[in-house]
């Protein structure tokens, strides 16, 4: 780090030249460790260096914070250290983000970590900016740029989790997301009508590609979006079943379910040279991720409103019940264990229900064909 020692006054702070590259810190000759860091763009940030590790803490930007206020804050911080009180050790946003994602990789499913990474890198790209410098206004500005309500709500949730983690790690004192509204927890009850199922299917067919195939498979299988998106060729068996490994299922249990003819035809029609059935564009090791723009296009084409892809799962379950399929079979097919298979039942109930599930998907396959033909 390039640095000099100068007498800091209001005039000298204004006159400090911007370096051609990198950042240059000008320390005050009257208060040890207190100084101004100047960026190539001319941004001036008051800082304080102290401790055996020569930690550099940002106090605030000039002229938002005056020299006198910054010097007073630096003295307060030094006094707190003398009294044995330690402020959080702020680090660059990118460094904290990578550390957080590394921890997530140890306990979360790969596609969950991928979604977290995408939100933190794409929606909240603060780069090398110090965590302590990120304000609630910065977070709101980033969120205001997201048009899709569901995408904005998800990005807000990820940001809250990340900054709460940063507080626990003592990188910051308070989360800039504390003032954000809480996530809506009202349970959805939306079920697509037969006409909406038909319009969504036809719109998905018109869109085509990975997204179109995923939507149609969601309709035919009732499985979760992340599970269908993460499908690998090796999980699809010749007998018409698909086995999802425990690391990608919500309940972390391996799940094998049958598919009927329509789903098998869709899978067979997908041209794929990689292990993933639906890889992201230009990234063969990552699953499809173009959800927001594709959903907007799907809504325009199908004309349905106030619905989510997860509503398809509820629609399938409701239709299966209407077709006379027993609740335990529906729950087994959809890999839902908190109902008929919750608690101690999950320990002793080992019947696979494969024959019953095959009969159920055949009924639903025929029902979908009837809906599309109507």
Q: State pLDDT tens for residues 224-248.
A: 999 999 999 999 999 999 999 988 8
pLDDT of residue 174: 86
Same domain, 14 and 108: no
Q: State pLDDT tens for residues 192-219.
A: 999 999 999 999 999 999 999 999 999 9
**Does residue 255 surpass a pLDDT of 90?**
yes
Which DSSP string corresponds to 23-88? -EEEEESSSTTEEEEE-TT--EEEEEEETTTTEEEEEEEETTS-HHHHHHHHHHHHHHHHTT----
Distance between CA atoms of 372 and 364, rounded to whole angstroms? 12
Domain end point (choices 60, 82, 104): 82
187 within domain boundaries: no
Distance between CA atoms of 291 and 111, rounded to whole angstroms? 14
The 8-class DSSP code of residue 328 comes to: H
Domain end point (choices 82, 107, 134): 82
- 149: helix, coil or strand? helix
Same domain, 138 and 98: yes
Same domain, 265 and 347: yes
In this structure, the strands spanning 34-38 and 24-28 are: antiparallel
331 within domain boundaries: yes
Which among 58, 66, 52 is positioned nearest to 38, based on CA atoms?
58
Residue 313 in contact with residue 218, Cβ under 8 Å? yes
Same domain, 30 and 159: no
- 263: helix, coil or strand? helix
Domain end point (choices 82, 109, 133): 82
Same domain, 237 and 337: yes
175 within domain boundaries: no
Highest mean pLDDT among 80-89, 290-299, 310-319: 310-319
Which among 139, 131, 47, 142 is positioned nearest to 89, based on CA atoms?
131
In this structure, the strands spanning 283-287 and 55-62 are: unpaired
Same domain, 104 and 62: no
Q: Give the contacts of 312 (CB within 8 A, at least 6 positions apart).
A: 192, 200, 215, 218, 219, 222
Residues in the chain: 374
Question: C-alpha distances in angstroms, 147 versus 46, 153, 155, 240?
Answer: 35, 10, 12, 40
Same domain, 43 and 120: no
To the question of pTM greater than 0.75 for the whole model, the response is no
Q: Give the contacts of 331 (CB within 8 A, at least 6 positions apart).
A: 337, 339, 340, 341
Same domain, 78 and 144: no
Q: Which domain holds residue 325?
A: 194-373
Question: C-alpha distances in angstroms, 292 versus 123, 286, 289?
Answer: 13, 17, 9
Q: Strand (E) positions, the chain?
A: 2-6, 24-28, 34-38, 44-50, 55-62, 241-244, 255-258, 279-280, 283-287
**Does residue 342 surpass a pLDDT of 50?**
no
Distance between CA atoms of 124 and 166, rounded to whole angstroms? 15
88 within domain boundaries: no
pLDDT of residue 348: 42
178 within domain boundaries: no
Q: What is the CATH number of the domain that holds 8?
A: 3.30.160.390
Q: State pLDDT tens for residues 129-155.
A: 999 889 999 999 999 888 877 788 889
Same domain, 98 and 60: no
Question: C-alpha distances in angstroms, 130 versus 68, 99, 103, 166?
Answer: 22, 14, 20, 12
Q: What is the CATH number of the domain that holds 163?
A: 1.10.150
What is the overall mean pLDDT for the chain?
88
């Amino acid at each position: 780090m390039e640095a000099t020692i100068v007498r800091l006054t209001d005039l000298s702070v204004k006159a400090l030249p911007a370096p051609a590259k990198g950042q240059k810190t000008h320390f005050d000759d009257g208060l040890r460790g207190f100084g101004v860091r100047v960026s190539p763009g001319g941004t001036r940030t008051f800082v304080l260096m102290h401790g055996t590790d020569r930690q550099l803490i940002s106090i605030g930007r000039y002229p938002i914070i005056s020299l006198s206020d910054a010097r007073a804050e630096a003295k307060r911080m030094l006094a707190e250290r003398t009294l044995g009180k330690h402020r959080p050790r702020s680090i660059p946003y990118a460094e904290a983000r990578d550390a957080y994602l590394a921890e997530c990789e140890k306990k979360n499913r790969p596609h969950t970590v991928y979604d977290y990474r995408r939100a933190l890198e794409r929606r909240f790209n603060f780069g090398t900016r110090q965590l302590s410098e990120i304000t609630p206004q910065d977070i709101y500005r980033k969120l205001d740029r997201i048009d899709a309500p569901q995408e904005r709500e998800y990005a807000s949730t990820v940001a809250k989790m990340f900054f709460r983690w940063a507080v626990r790690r003592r990188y910051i004192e308070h989360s800039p997301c504390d003032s954000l509204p809480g996530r809506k927890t009202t349970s959805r009850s939306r079920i697509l009508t037969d006409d909406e199922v038909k319009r969504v299917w036809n719109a998905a067919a018109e869109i085509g590609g990975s997204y179109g195939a995923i939507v149609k498979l969601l309709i035919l299988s009732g499985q979760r979006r992340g599970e269908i998106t993460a499908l690998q060729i090796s999980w699809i068996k010749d007998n018409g079943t698909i086995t999802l490994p425990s690391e990608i299922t919500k309940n972390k249990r391996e799940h094998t379910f049958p598919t009927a003819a329509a789903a098998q035809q869709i899978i067979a029609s997908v041209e794929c040279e990689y292990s993933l059935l639906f890889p992201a564009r230009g990234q063969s090791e990552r699953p499809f991720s173009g959800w927001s723009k594709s959903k907007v296009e799907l809504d325009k084409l199908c004309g349905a409103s106030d619905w989510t892809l997860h509503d398809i799962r509820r629609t399938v379950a409701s239709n299966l019940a209407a077709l006379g399929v027993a609740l335990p079979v529906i729950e087994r097919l959809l890999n839902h264990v908190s109902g008929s298979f919750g608690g101690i039942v999950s320990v002793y109930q080992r019947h696979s229900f494969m024959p019953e599930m095959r009969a159920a998907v055949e009924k639903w396959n025929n029902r979908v064909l009837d809906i599309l033909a109507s």
